[in-house]
Chains A and B, each alone.
Chain A
């Protein structure tokens, strides 16, 4: 139901833009946080990939003869990389959907 006596203060043009600004700032901060988290995840996955690479190199050069450690490192790198790709696909999809929105 429409309020016959709207609150004038909420429509005050002097206060309105400020609230919008804080909301935008909050959203930007939240987005930045998300980006930072993704960056952290990427570096973690990168670390696991490098570990897997190193263990394969060690196996091939004869430095390490334990094949199970290679299996473990590769399994971890594979699993975390798949998760990263899943998150990336989700993000790209969200971006595409936003861009296709009619304004």
Chain B
């Protein structure tokens, strides 16, 4: 089996990149948690990043497959004074739940950190291998 010296680097970096993107998605969700109009008169829909493997090879990096929207119902909040309120005084708010986003934020941050740890450890492994040359 052929060993690629930079394989671990590429895979760890792909993980860092994927989790950066999911961090971006989470920040979009948090920023738009109260956005009632996305330009089409509809509230903001929560976004989800779905991951897939980079290739069919069993040992491979991760890539963002696509960013999908969360199809769950919007939250209804009673606010008769709101310009977007319906006849009974309810406003449709995005289906973003901040506690869930905070959880996902921690998951993304920790996953990023884990990939950095892999990269660091691999670098120190290569360095200690090169020590053998001395």
A interface with B by C-beta (< 8 Å): 66, 68-69, 71-72, 75-76, 78-80, 82-83, 86-87, 89-90
Beyond A79-B5, A79-B123, A79-B126, whether A71 also contacts B134 by CB under 8 A is no
Q: Distance in Å from the Cβ of A9 to the closest Cβ of chain B?
A: 45
Report yes or no: A82 in contact with B17, Cβ–Cβ below 8 A.
no
Report the Cα distance A69→B61, complex, angstroms. 14
Per-position binary interface string of chain B over residues 107-134, scored 1 when its CB falls under 8 Å from any chain A CB and 0 otherwise: 0000000000001000100110010011
Ordered by A's residue number, 26 sampled pairs between the chains whose C-beta atoms are within 8 Å are A66-B17, A68-B13, A68-B17, A68-B20, A69-B13, A69-B17, A71-B16, A72-B9, A72-B10, A72-B13, A75-B9, A76-B6, A78-B123, A79-B5, A79-B6, A79-B9, A80-B5, A82-B126, A82-B130, A83-B130, A86-B130, A86-B133, A86-B134, A87-B133, A89-B134, A90-B133
Which interface class (under 10, 10 to 19, 20 to 34, 35 or more) fits B?
10 to 19
Q: Note all chain A residues with C-beta closer than 8 A to B13.
A: 68-69, 71-72, 75
Expressed in whole angstroms, the Cα–Cα distance for A90 and B133 within the complex equals: 7
**14 extra interface residue pairs, beta carbon distance < 8 Å, beyond A72-B9, A79-B6:** A68-B13, A68-B20, A71-B119, A72-B10, A72-B13, A75-B123, A76-B9, A79-B9, A79-B123, A82-B126, A83-B130, A86-B130, A86-B134, A89-B134
Measured CB to CB, the closest approach of chain B to A89, in angstroms, equals 7
The answer to whether B119 touches A75 (Cβ under 8 A) is: yes
Could you tell me the distance between the alpha carbons of A72 and B5 in the complex, rounded to whole angstroms? 13
Most buried by B among A69, A75, A80, A89: A75
Bound CA–CA A90/B131 (angstroms):
12
- Which residue, B5, B13, B17, has most C-beta atoms of chain A within 10 A? B13
Give the shortest distance, in Å, between B5 (CB) and chain A (any CB): 7
Nearest CB of A to B23, in Å: 12
Q: How far is the CB of B69 from chain A (nearest CB, A)?
A: 25
Q: Are B130 and A68 in contact (CB under 8 A)?
A: no
Which 8 interchain pairs have the tightest Cβ spacing? A86-B133, A72-B13, A68-B17, A68-B16, A86-B130, A79-B126, A68-B13, A76-B6
Cα–Cα distance between A66 and B14 once the two chains are bound (Å): 12
